[in-house]
Structure 1
Amino acid sequence: MEANAVEIPTRADIERAAAMIAGYIRRTPVLQLAIAGLGTITLKLEQLQHTASFKPRGAFFTALSAAERPSLLVAASGGNHGLAVAYVGRALGIPARIFLPLTAPHAKVSRLHSLGAQVEQHGERYADAFAASEESAASPGALAIHAYDAPGTVTGQGTMAREIEQQVPGVRAVAVAVGGGGLMGGTSAWFGDATELVAVEPEGSQTFRAATQAGRPVDITPRGLASDSLGASRIGALPFAAMQAAGTRSVVVGDAAVISARELLWRECRIAAEPGGAVALAAVLEKQVAVAPDGGTVVVVCGANTDPSDLPLA
């Protein structure tokens, strides 16, 4: 899918998605956090969404907007998207088959089984799991729900940005972690170029930075601390087009900053974020995102599927 061939969701599309999924998802809260020496930011607590990440938004919209009720939901995932699709399947009474890499965290695999999904693991990366999923996705009655590069997914994820606009008067900037780009793509589609949008990536998984430099989505080899949730091998063409159209800025953070951000969330808010969920805050701590007055800088905490045992007790 080439960037110039995609149709970016409109605000009307996202409004329609919000109405359709309203009875199935949580309207997640916001929380102001004062950071010494920097100021006060607003956290969008999307880790409180069903399955502890933003992913059910796009998965529910894709399933509910299908032309015919599917008999099987199929997804490839590093973990969080699979959990969302499994949850959607259970909520709607549709079997789910989830494909994961062998490197997926045990906590996510166990949760998938508890949600009643059929789980298959293949290869070392998300791309390997995706390739393995294609045969099931092509079976009669199956609906493949892409983790990030599909109109239903991006449109559904854009409903989070709609909530932010309603919850934070005068929002000036929004920082979002990026893997395949679905959440940032939806956020960019909603806000456009009227708000400063910052796509934050860990140094080991720079899909947006690589695409920006090349002028198109290109393959990378994801690695590092947050690769279980942000480990796409390339950014989606649709999210990339939406992000380019909105003038979304690229920021890269180091693992040490991600660890510090994760510990800050736990120490100050008792939020046990997964590394990928703390990536956007890391950019604030590194002073790569300016803190606007009165909480006008919004930082999305996008996931909490993690083992909290390594967080400090104090």
Structure 2
Amino acid sequence: MSGDLQQDWRGDVEAAARRIRERAPHFLRETPLWKLPGRALGVDTPGVEVWLKLEHLQVSGSFKARGMMNRLLANEIPASGAIVASGGNAGIATAAAAQALGVPCEVFLPEMSPEAKRARLRSLGARVVVGGAAYADALAACLQRQRKTGALLTHAYDQPEVVAGAGTLGREIEQQGGLPYAVLVSVGGGGLIGGLAAWFERRSRVVALEPERAPTLARAREAGEPVDVEVGGIAADSLGAKRIGAIAWELTQRHVGDALLLSDDAIRAAQSWMWKELKLGVEAAAALPLAALQTGAYAPREGEKVCLIVCGANVDPGMLG
């Protein structure tokens, strides 16, 4: 499911934004861009301004709504509807888009998916199938089912329409605040960082962040190509892809220099800090950008404007303590 680097990715992002605006005008939200002095988040470097892109407030609770709706609108949807394998967020987004368009949706989840995400899917009218230890197992079952039903497959991260839809987040940031110096973003399969890299190119510094226990991009860079990795840890339900997507691999090779790894302890601490200090209830995957700042893994320069992508909020509130 690779993309062509020669294609006009920024044009594809513009087309996605236009398609969604014209055909599903009330589906997406323009999420807030909250600007804070760096010291408010524990950054000591003088003059740093931190932009929190609060995409966890998006329809379906994550950025995934952008790509999933674009995928559905860009294709003819059969009577069997849409089908997707997901750690949770892509499934919720596909179900929300399908519900908005009045078409059926079937979602395959791994056993590690939290009950909160399963309940949300059912509330959106999706048929939920749970099985397999990891996302890759759910995807295999999903593909087998899709061959039988002919439903439109919505991939969690590795389809051009999904990546272009995710890129509308970058477009929105630029419209709201201009170009930040750096954009810090979590990586799982790579749909989000692929979309942001496609939009910003190298006009802003896009920084890839991964948990140490789910290093799909880091291991791919070590090997020189996408490879399977063992995944686990605190953010595995959202960042649990075993291999970086082909499109994200190509786009990050071209536009992303930094790929940083963060410990589960650092991610957990940042997630807890966001809840206690900012009252932002977000999932672990959304805390990696702040963890990178607070641990010094990413050290902004004096006067830098750095944007943190707060990507999702599909979390059990009891886990935020």
- TM > 0.5: yes
Deviation at 1:8, TM superposition (A): 5.4
Deviation at 1:288, TM superposition (A): 2.0
Q: Which residue of 1 aligns with 2:10?
A: 11
Matched, 1:51 2:60: yes
Q: Say if 2:179 and 2:204, in contact at 8 Å, map to a contact too.
A: no
Match of 1:224 among 233, 253, 260: 233
The separation in 2 between residues aligned to 1:134 and 1:169, in whole angstroms, is 41
Within-5 A mapping of 1:195-274: 195-274=204-283
TM-score, structure 2 length as denominator?
Answer: 0.92
User: Structure 1's 170 and 63: CA in aligned 2 closer, same or farther, altered over 3 A?
Assistant: closer
User: Structure 1's 16 and 239: CA in aligned 2 closer, same or farther, altered over 3 A?
Assistant: same
The separation in 1 between residues aligned to 2:121 and 2:302, in whole angstroms, is 41
CA deviation string 1:201-249 (max 9, x = no partner): 0111000001111111100011111001000000001011011111331
Q: Say if 2:207 and 2:256, in contact at 8 Å, map to a contact too.
A: no
Question: How many residues end up aligned between the 2 structures?
Answer: 310
User: What secondary structure is seen at the aligned counterpart in 1 of 2:87?
Assistant: coil
Moved more, 155-164 or 140-149: 140-149
Structure 1 unaligned residues grouped into runs of 5+: none
User: Structure 1's 295 and 92: CA in aligned 2 closer, same or farther, altered over 3 A?
Assistant: farther
CA deviation string 1:55-94 (max 9, x = no partner): 010000000011x233210000000000001111110001
Match of 2:175 among 166, 169, 178: 166
Moved more, 273-282 or 224-233: 273-282
Matched, 1:35 2:35: no
Match of 1:134 among 127, 140, 143: 143
Within-5 A mapping of 1:278-289: 278-289=287-298
Within-5 A mapping of 1:4-153: 10-22=9-21, 23=25, 24-33=27-36, 34-38=40-44, 39-66=48-75, 68-71=76-79, 72-139=81-148, 141-153=150-162
Deviation at 1:40, TM superposition (A): 3.4
The separation in 2 between residues aligned to 1:249 and 1:192, in whole angstroms, is 14
Q: Say if 2:82 and 2:151, in contact at 8 Å, map to a contact too.
A: yes
Q: Say if 1:8 and 1:242, in contact at 8 Å, map to a contact too.
A: no
The separation in 1 between residues aligned to 2:78 and 2:51, in whole angstroms, is 39
The separation in 1 between residues aligned to 2:219 and 2:300, in whole angstroms, is 26
Moved more, 107-116 or 39-48: 39-48
Deviation at 1:32, TM superposition (A): 2.0
Match of 2:312 among 303, 306, 313: 303
Moved more, 21-30 or 270-279: 21-30
TM-score, structure 1 length as denominator?
Answer: 0.94
Letter in 1 for 2:199: W
Deviation at 1:298, TM superposition (A): 0.1
Question: Where has structure 1 moved over 4 Å in runs of 4 or more?
Answer: 5-9, 292-295
The separation in 1 between residues aligned to 2:121 and 2:134, in whole angstroms, is 18
The separation in 2 between residues aligned to 1:6 and 1:127, in whole angstroms, is 26
Q: Which residue of 1 aligns with 2:284?
A: 275
Q: Say if 2:214 and 2:240, in contact at 8 Å, map to a contact too.
A: yes
User: What secondary structure is seen at the aligned counterpart in 1 of 2:217?
Assistant: helix
Between the aligned residues of both structures, percent identity stands at 43
Deviation at 1:269, TM superposition (A): 1.8
The separation in 2 between residues aligned to 1:99 and 1:123, in whole angstroms, is 10
Deviation at 1:294, TM superposition (A): 5.9
Q: Say if 1:74 and 1:133, in contact at 8 Å, map to a contact too.
A: yes
Deviation at 1:6, TM superposition (A): 6.0
Deviation at 1:2, TM superposition (A): 6.2
Moved more, 111-120 or 29-38: 29-38
Moved more, 9-18 or 298-307: 9-18
The separation in 1 between residues aligned to 2:70 and 2:246, in whole angstroms, is 19
Moved more, 100-109 or 160-169: 160-169
User: Structure 1's 221 and 140: CA in aligned 2 closer, same or farther, altered over 3 A?
Assistant: same
User: Structure 1's 2 and 10: CA in aligned 2 closer, same or farther, altered over 3 A?
Assistant: closer
Moved more, 171-180 or 277-286: 277-286
Letter in 1 for 2:230: T
Q: Say if 1:79 and 1:109, in contact at 8 Å, map to a contact too.
A: yes
The separation in 2 between residues aligned to 1:170 and 1:193, in whole angstroms, is 11
User: What secondary structure is seen at the aligned counterpart in 2 of 1:138?
Assistant: helix
User: What secondary structure is seen at the aligned counterpart in 2 of 1:291?
Assistant: coil
